[in-house]
Structure 1
Amino acid sequence: MSTPAKSGNNAVSLLSALVIQGVVDEFIVPAYTDATKIKLIVKFDPTSILMTRIKSGERGDVIVAIDRNIDELIEAGIVSERGRVPLVRTGAGVAVRAGAPKPDISTVSGFTQSLLNARSVAYSRTGASGIYFAALIEKLGIADEINSRSTIIDKGLIAEALLTGTADIAVQQLSELATVAGVDVVGPLPAEIQHTTDFSVALFCTALDNQAAIKLVSLLVSEDAQREYRRFGLEIL
């Protein structure tokens, strides 16, 4: 089990869903360490994997995760309702390697045909968008054909599969696609089949009096951070 950082310690830990990885890497980490001189230790994973780790005993100071899972952690007495703040909303989208022809995803039929035309579609079955996508292609009646040549990734930034050439279409949450350099985000899924997910930030109960952790939450919900979230295609809650 990890030990949460206490007030006065020289490190604070953040367990975060991948949804804000680009903002955390590019803005939050340098801004926080510059302002506080405290080391920020970040562990990124899909919320489903974060939940498994927490249920196995792992703890941190601050968590960013899907709303319903934050609710579950509050109910279990692991995360505090006090200080919990709604953070961002994102939808799923499509990306291709930079410079590659952009598939038609403007309609459900166009999106479906683009998937069928792809050499390989990359997605994850552990992230919220990947779980949704697996159910969506079943609903569209194309799951067998897509999965027979798909690139299914356990976790991480799915668009990286475009850079290695293992897939020519990646499906994931829009902000996660935008985090990968060298890819073009084609756009969101058609409105009729779009799936949005809300995320919140909260303190672990063991960090309620940790001023360094509280400062991290304040930075994560600040106007400067919100500007960065929007840059990655996230909606502010």
Structure 2
Amino acid sequence: MSVFAAGISSMATRQILSELAAAYEEATGEVITIESVGGVDAAKRIRAGEPFDFAVLASDALQKLEADGHLVPGSIIEIAESPMAMAVRAGAAKPDPLDEAAVRKAMESAKAIGISTGPSGTHVQALARGWGLEGEGASRLVQAKPGIPVAKLLADGEVEIGFQQLSEMLGAPGIDIVGLLPESLQPGTVFAAALCKTGAHTEAARAFIEYLVSDETAETKRQHGMIPV
């Protein structure tokens, strides 16, 4: 069976897209291949002109790519909201309840805080600035390399607490998820799909994206920690 369309995504949507691509193939007989890498690297590769039919990234990253002429204009479609969670190493004490005061206290007292190179990491950096932790606090922020989950930093003992999209923490070994950040601290990250200008199978990719936003994909999104939009 020949490849139907090829896409690239960030790691946050890797499991969701893998399941949905398989379901789509079963329903239609068409093959979708998706390479999941760090979001920063994905954007760089699209900018470098690699031939992808579509991309699934944080909506703000896609908007920048569209503005710079790398995407088919007007093709960005939101797929799901991705809430952000806090985790600790397995067996470590967990704040309860996880309210804004608890998150701030945890960041102030932790010797090392794990963050990603993606939207969640940028958000934690902003929280640190807002809470006056730019000095010593900022130096304790440990950023995972692109494509490496924050959960690995926790499991390996490199950090005491970690923040990332819930979808990237679910099922990760060696960690305990404390819970979702309170609504007041959620960044409101939304992942979206778009057509790449370098694509050779535009209509095929468009059909798959339409499937990604259909009602029949909602339960898969919820199972992996995302909220359908």
Answer yes or no: same fold by TM over 0.5: yes
Matched-pair contact (CA < 8 Å) for 1:105–1:189: no
Name the CA distance, whole Å, in 1 between partners of 2:184 and 2:94. Answer: 20
Name the CA distance, whole Å, in 1 between partners of 2:172 and 2:211. Answer: 23
Matches within 5 A, 1:123-142: 123-124=115-116, 126-142=117-133
Structure 1 residue 34: Cα displacement: 4.0
Matched-pair contact (CA < 8 Å) for 2:86–2:161: yes
Matches within 5 A, 1:28-47: 28-35=20-27, 36=29, 38=31, 40-46=33-39
Structure 1 residue 23: Cα displacement: 1.4
Pick one of 45, 60, 63 that aligns with 2:55: 63
Partner of 2:11: 18
Matched-pair contact (CA < 8 Å) for 1:230–1:236: yes
Unmatched tracts of structure 2, length 5 or more: none
Over the aligned positions, Cα root-mean-square deviation in angstroms equals: 2.7
Matched-pair contact (CA < 8 Å) for 1:23–1:225: no
Matched-pair contact (CA < 8 Å) for 1:104–1:114: no
Name the CA distance, whole Å, in 2 between partners of 1:153 and 1:223. Answer: 34
Structure 1 residue 130: Cα displacement: 0.4
| Identical amino acids, percent of aligned pairs | 28
Q: Are residues 75 and 139 of structure 1, via their aligned partners in 2, closer, same or farther at CA, if it must alter by over 3 Å?
A: closer
Name the CA distance, whole Å, in 1 between partners of 2:228 and 2:136. Answer: 37
- 1:106 is the counterpart of 2:98: yes
Name the CA distance, whole Å, in 2 between partners of 1:226 and 1:73. Answer: 26
* Secondary structure class of the residue paired with 1:53: helix
Unmatched tracts of structure 1, length 5 or more: 1-7
1:133-179 Cα distance to aligned partner (Å, 9 max, x none): 11211211123333444432122311111221212211112222225
Partner of 2:45: 53
- 1:236 is the counterpart of 2:228: yes
Name the CA distance, whole Å, in 2 between partners of 1:135 and 1:30. Answer: 37
Q: Are residues 24 and 183 of structure 1, via their aligned partners in 2, closer, same or farther at CA, if it must alter by over 3 Å?
A: farther
Matches within 5 A, 1:90-101: 90-101=82-93
Name the CA distance, whole Å, in 1 between partners of 2:73 and 2:115. Answer: 33
**Range 53-62 or range 79-88, more displaced:** 79-88
Name the CA distance, whole Å, in 2 between partners of 1:13 and 1:209. Answer: 8
How many matched pairs? Answer: 227
Structure 1 residue 211: Cα displacement: 4.8
Matched-pair contact (CA < 8 Å) for 1:22–1:179: no
1:26-85 Cα distance to aligned partner (Å, 9 max, x none): x13433444535361413222x43222222222311111222332333344432246542
Query: TM-score, normalised to structure 1's length?
Result: 0.81
Structure 1 residue 95: Cα displacement: 1.1
Name the CA distance, whole Å, in 2 between partners of 1:181 and 1:215. Answer: 35
